[in-house]
Chains A and B, each alone.
Chain A
Amino acid sequence: MTSTSTTSNTILIKNGRVIDPSQGIDRVTNVLIQDGKVAGLDVNEESAKQAAADGNLTVVDASNKIVSPGLIDLHAELREPGFEEDETIESGTAAAIQGGYTSIGCVANTDPPIDTQASVEYVRQKAVRANNCNVFVIACVSKNRDGEQLAEIGTLVEAGAVAFSDASHPIQNSNLLRRALEYCLMFDKVILSNPEDVSLNCDGVMHEGLTSMVLGLAGMTSKGEDVMTSRDLRLAEATGGRLHLMNISSAGSVELIRRARTLGLEVTAEVCPANFILTDVTLRTFDSNYKVNPPLRSQDHVDACIAGLIDGTLDVIASCHRPRATEKKMQELDLAPFGMSALETTLSLVVEHLVNPGHLTWTQVIEKMTINPARILGIQKGSLKVGADADVTIIDPQAEWTLEAAGMESRSANTPFIGHQMRGRAVQVIVGGEFKLGEPQTSSEGASCHS
């Protein structure tokens, strides 16, 4: 992605449907951006021209489009350092921009894992150099991500880590999780826990059920998720620590979280598109692009995830971006790694499967993809309040496009949605007042706008 910083410091996004759940806003209006910050809402074009000191104003017509605070992905894997064949910080952040994200949380599924000050700084520096979207580092809970001893959490906070997670290495040691929740209280940081009982999953490759039985594939029971969700909730309750549950996919865990919140526990949870769209029946193709963890479950679990999104039990829609190189995915199903490349498809899939069928309103969707993840990570993002960083995503909900492997920014095209007719996408992405996607051509559209 070429870093094309616009010459203009002042941008007016006009006539868009501005949806900002952080302020309870949903109306057609204008957004003024100046010097990388949101300078005002409801500003008309005349005032905007006056505000632009040098008269150099970029006007973006967002008619029939949605103007949202820049989308935030709570967690994605960027794979660097260690697995550059899958993704790099540069390619992953470019993919994020394509998908409409202005900020992403990046988990420590790297080699070495992000468990030292130096590695946190390495990721942050690489992200600055890539100059695509903002990257917030989610560092390891445990040293070397081996689930035994606490990583140097205080030092990692100092280096800029915003949250802690062992990501795809679910914490099996309950005492470690307890200590982590307690210890993070000192820093007001959240633990992102991936609820999976590894011993119940053995060498499973898919959801345990009728389909796995017929195909003879080793199953991963939904009880493996329920058991750990239950444990995590109890430990959060006991410690008062901040807990976020990643990758929720089972009806049982949705219900456990719902009940815990009814009882007043402040816990948050997320789901990714794969788990509210696809079922285990897709594995009948034996296509390893459907091999994800948590696994694609049966329809009743999918329905429960959608119900959890609707009633707010699931606060966040995350991409769970897990890019994996083609040569790894081309192996037999038991050898192929888990994961789906998702940064470039999440928004469109949300439009197709949650907005268009009427499950969620745009306000609910944007809340789950902006201010909610921002609050969980404790970052000053996800809002169009005056003075906020000018991170803006302009969405064309009607745009039709087809996902093609060759057109992807991610290094890995491990998604079953290749060739899928998509509806809705980000058409313009602004990060810190700079266009990262869909910069207006000043020669044509801009000509009439400049005074």
Chain B
Amino acid sequence: MSTQVVDIEKNAATWTRRHLLDLESLSREEIVTILDTAEQFRTDTANCRNKLDVLKGYTIANLFFENSTRTRTSFGLAAKRLGADTVDFSSSGSSLSKGETFIDTAKNIEAMNVDAVVVRHRTPGTPKLLAENLGVSVVNAGDGPHEHPTQGLLDMLTIRQHRGSFEGKTVALVGDIAHSRTARSNIWGLKKLGAHVIVCGPSTLVSPLWEKLGVEVAYSLDDIVARCDVLNLLRIQFERQYTRPFPSVREYALLYAMNRERMEKAKDDILIMAPGPINRGVEVTPEVADGPHSVILDQVTNGLAVRMAVLWLVCKAGAAE
């Protein structure tokens, strides 16, 4: 797959969306286009000194209204690898504390002639509001528990690299489904590409309503682990929970941590993924996280390629408008 050369210019020419807000509204073909473009960028920049200049002259603003280390770094580096200039904005050092609304803040940044904004915010729908209020491309870098499209895409790229296709594959998302944007983006994307998706976690964090969207709901990891091709171990989002939905971290780890005993029940070629940051010993034990089935660091590398592809496509679509 990675040997096939993809024409990124051709992909950009057929791409019409100037924003990437979610995976729910993307078609299967659009998702494949992003993955193919990302694969090409990954090949082109395999040697990290090989910087491209395809977005030379473009300026991309990273608006992070919520803490983030890896996603912000990844977007920033992706923009630089494409030759774009970047400007960083995080809410801690901003005028938000002075009472300015986030739309006003974003409009001020837009007035500095940026081509795209990458936004991370604690509230679902905020990237959509920005897209409606600003004249520039908006890329959602995670809006509360709603969506995290580039995370979903990088997870899919990782699975595709290791398994080739999605048809007939079973992917389980384990953990705090209720508060996970990664889960939602994965569900939309994986379903469109033909995978069977299981959501698994405590009943207080996994709604049976997911079945209405064609997703299997499970409460016991032990029951499902043997038939999974991929396990994506989601982080417990302590910061988004009001009344703690399970009695203790210890009990959670007992029921849901991917450990050596559960690995013994799993398929020989199971992929262990985690969107990070991982709570070692909670969702996954160190020997599994660092073990031969873990592709956690591949995900990080692919994140960069996916974000290059997304920035490239939306900036070109924005310029074409």
Interface size class of B (residues with CB under 8 A): 20 to 34
Mask, A207-251, CB within 8 Å of B = 1, is: 001100111110000000000000000000000000000000000
**Bound form: Cα–Cα A332–B120 in Å:** 13
Contacts of B243 in A (CB 8 A): 202
Q: A286-B124, A286-B129 are in contact. Are A215 and B146 (CB under 8 A)?
A: yes
**Residue contact A213 to B207, C-beta cutoff 8 Å:** yes
Task: List, in ascending order, chain A residues with CB within 8 A of B126's CB.
Answer: 286, 332-333
A216 CA / B102 CA spacing, docked (Å): 20
Known contacts being A202-B242, A203-B242, is A213 close to B124, with CB within 8 Å? no
- Interface assignment of B123: CB less than 8 Å from any CB of chain A: yes
Q: What are the residues of chain A within 8 A of B24 when measuring CB–CB?
A: 214
Q: Is A210's CB under 8 angstroms from B121's CB? A: no
In the assembled complex, B87 has its CB within 8 A of some CB on chain A: no
CB distance from A222 to the nearest CB of B (A): 14
A236 CB to closest chain B CB (Å) equals 30
Alpha-carbon distance between A209 and B103 when the two chains are bound, in angstroms: 28
Closest to B188 in A: A214
In the complex, A327 Cα to B123 Cα: how many Å?
17
- Residue from the set B102, B121, B125 with the largest chain A CB neighbour count within 10 Å: B125
Judge if B1 is at the interface, Cβ distance under 8 Å. Answer: no
- Asked if residues B242 and A216 are in contact (CB atoms below 8 Å), the reply is no
Q: Which of A210, A216, A335 contacts B144 (CB 8 A)?
A: A216
Q: In this assembly, does A330 line the interface, its C-beta being within 8 Å of a C-beta of chain B?
A: yes
Which residues of chain B are within 8 angstroms of A330 by Cβ–Cβ distance?
A: 101, 103
Smallest Cβ distance from B183 to chain A, in angstroms?
9
Bound form: Cα–Cα A214–B144 in Å:
12
Q: Nearest-CB distance from A439 to chain B (Å)?
A: 42
The minimal Cβ–Cβ distance linking B200 to chain A, given in whole angstroms, is 16
Determine if A334 is an interface residue (Cβ-Cβ < 8 Å): yes
Q: Which residue of chain A has its CB nearest to the CB of B128?
A: A286
B179-218 contacts to A (CB < 8 Å): 179, 181, 184, 207, 209-210, 212-213
Residue from the list B123, B178, B181, B210 in contact with A332, Cβ < 8 A:
B123
Measured in the bound complex, the distance between the Cα atoms of B122 and A214 in whole Å is 16
Whether A334 pairs with B101 at a CB distance below 8 angstroms is: no
B155 CB-CB contact with A under 8 Å: no
A418 to chain B: closest CB distance in Å?
A: 15
Residue of A nearest to B180 (CB): A216
| Interface 0/1 of B16-46, CB less than 8 Å to A | 0000000010000000000000000000000
Residues of A within 8 A of B145 (CB): 216-217
A216 touching B184, Cβ below 8 Å: yes
The answer to whether A216 touches B124, judged by C-beta atoms less than 8 angstroms apart, is yes
Which of B124, B146, B210, B243 has its CB near the most chain A CB atoms (within 10 A)?
Answer: B124
Q: Interface residues of A: mostly helix, strand, loop or mixed?
A: loop
| Option from B101, B103, B129, B146 in Cβ contact (under 8 Å) with A217 | B146
Contact of B125 among A209, A210, A213, A286 (CB under 8 A): A286
Total number of residue pairs linking A and B with CB closer than 8 Å:
54
In the complex, A213→B101 CA distance in Å?
Answer: 26
A331 at the interface (CB under 8 A from B): yes
Q: Is B115 located at the chain interface by the 8 A CB criterion?
A: no
Bound together, the chains give a CA A327 to CA B181 distance in angstroms of: 28
B147 contacts partner chain A, Cβ-Cβ < 8 Å: yes
**Alpha-carbon distance A327/B178, docked complex (angstroms):** 30
Return the chain A residue nearest B103 by Cβ.
A330
B123 x A334 contact (CB < 8 A) = yes
Instruction: Please encode chain A, from 280 to 292, with 1 for each CB lying within 8 Å of some chain B CB and 0 for all others.
Output: 0000001000000
Residues of B within 8 A of A215 (CB): 124-125, 146
Residue of A with least CB distance to B125 = A286
Which residues of B sit under 8 angstroms from A214, Cβ to Cβ? 24, 184, 213
8 Å CB interface, B116-155 against A: 121-126, 128-129, 143-147
Contacts of B103 in A (CB 8 A): 330
Q: How far is the CA of A216 from the CA of B142 in the complex (A)?
A: 11
In Å, the complex CA distance between A209 and B212 comes to 11
Chain A, residue nearest B65 (CB): A332
- Contacting residues, chain A, for B181 (C-beta < 8 A): 216
Residues 35-76 of chain B: 1 if any A CB is under 8 Å from the residue's CB, otherwise 0? 000000000000000000000000000000000000000000
Q: Which 4 A-B pairs have the closest CB atoms?
A: A286-B125, A216-B145, A216-B146, A332-B123
Other A-B pairs beyond A216-B179, A216-B181, 8, CB < 8 Å = A214-B24, A215-B124, A286-B128, A331-B102, A332-B102, A332-B123, A332-B126, A334-B122
Give the A-binding residues of B (Cβ under 8 A): 24, 101-103, 121-126, 128-129, 143-147, 178-179, 181, 184, 207, 209-210, 212-213, 242-243
Q: List 26 A-B contacts (CB under 8 A).
A: A203-B242, A209-B209, A210-B209, A213-B210, A215-B124, A215-B125, A215-B146, A216-B124, A216-B143, A216-B144, A216-B147, A217-B124, A217-B125, A217-B144, A217-B145, A217-B146, A286-B129, A332-B121, A332-B123, A332-B126, A332-B129, A333-B123, A333-B125, A334-B122, A334-B123, A335-B123
A interface list, Cβ under 8 A from B: 202-203, 209-210, 213-217, 286, 327, 330-335
